[in-house]
Amino acid sequence: MTLRHGQAVALMVVVTLLWATAGVVTRQLEQAQAFEITFWRSAFTALSLALILPAWQGWGVWRRIASVGRTLWVSGVCWAVMFTAFMVALALTSVANVLITLAAGPLLTALVSRLFFGQRLARSTWGAIGVAGAGIAWMFARQLGEGGWLGSLVALGAPLGGAFNWNLVQRSQRQGRGVDLVPAVLIGALLSAALTLPLAWPLRASAHDVAWLAGLGLWQLAVPCVLAVVCARALPPAEVSLLALLEVLFGIVLAWLGAGEVPTPAVWQGGALVLGALLTHLWLTYR
């Protein structure tokens, strides 16, 4: 599946909206705790992808997974880190605090691109990252003043894993090796479920909780993560990470409307800087 630049941007907006539902859904749970939440979501994601991938790519996808090289498995580890860190952090601190930490993605992606992959960035990208970073710093400082520093520290694993992941996807395409990294999402979900099951045992989630987490596994993770990998083939890593910042704004609004977590003025102020940087960068890119 090949997308034009505009199509990839539009699809990434839809992806971020689906991703943003995690916080508000997590607040509907009755009994499940941090590691059990992560286990059930990852397990249902793996189950969903085990059905989606053969239907989309044919049964030969299993043979290709077994025969590909190290890049696919490294990407799977990155997804596992992202899945686990994000959900555990949501159980430790507020939705806004976690999402603000995720917004460090562009900064980390640019740093990883430069240090590990030798990719040069346009000045407009650096400028957008700088403005977004100022907004993040403003929100983050105020959130730390209210506590929740452990949740923020755990959440930092998600953008760090994403920074390496987007660069891996882009590099595999530039080198023309034809490695399909979509199954890496499945590998990441399996690794995350296997890692958190011993920590979640004994399982105490109610049927109500399991139903919500099954929905998260399919519509909040499996489907949008596969679409994100497809988008990353047509977009530079830094731009993917900038577009992913929309999850921060969507998630905060959804948690406010659906779970009563009212954002502080600092969240709105910093969020305005982040969104402004994103829109300005996209406008300059189109020009």
126/37 Cα distance (integer angstroms): 36
pLDDT, residue 7, reads: 87
Q: What is the mean pLDDT of residues 201-212?
A: 88
Domains of the chain by residue range:
5-286
Model-wide pTM > 0.85? no
Angstrom CA distances, 105 to 26, 79, 102, 246, 269, stand at 22, 14, 6, 12, 19
Q: How many CB atoms lie within 10 A of CB 175?
A: 10
Residue with tokens 């003043």: 145
Structure token pair of residue 33: 């705790």
Q: How many CB atoms lie within 10 A of CB 174?
A: 9
Give the closest residue to 76 by CA, choosing from 172, 151, 165, 201.
Answer: 165
210/32 Cα distance (integer angstroms): 9
271/138 Cα distance (integer angstroms): 9
Q: What is the mean pLDDT of residues 263-277?
A: 78
pLDDT, residue 17, reads: 92
Tell me the pLDDT tens digit for each residue of 221-245: 888 888 887 887 788 876 777 787 7
266/269 Cα distance (integer angstroms): 5
Task: Name the residue with higher pLDDT: 87 or 100.
Answer: 87
Residues in the chain: 287
Please provide the average confidence, as pLDDT, over all residues in the chain.
Answer: 81
Quickly state the pLDDT bin for 28 (edges 50, 70, 90). confident
38-47, 78-87, 162-171: least confidently modelled range = 162-171
Give the closest residue to 233 by CA, choosing from 143, 169, 157, 151.
Answer: 169
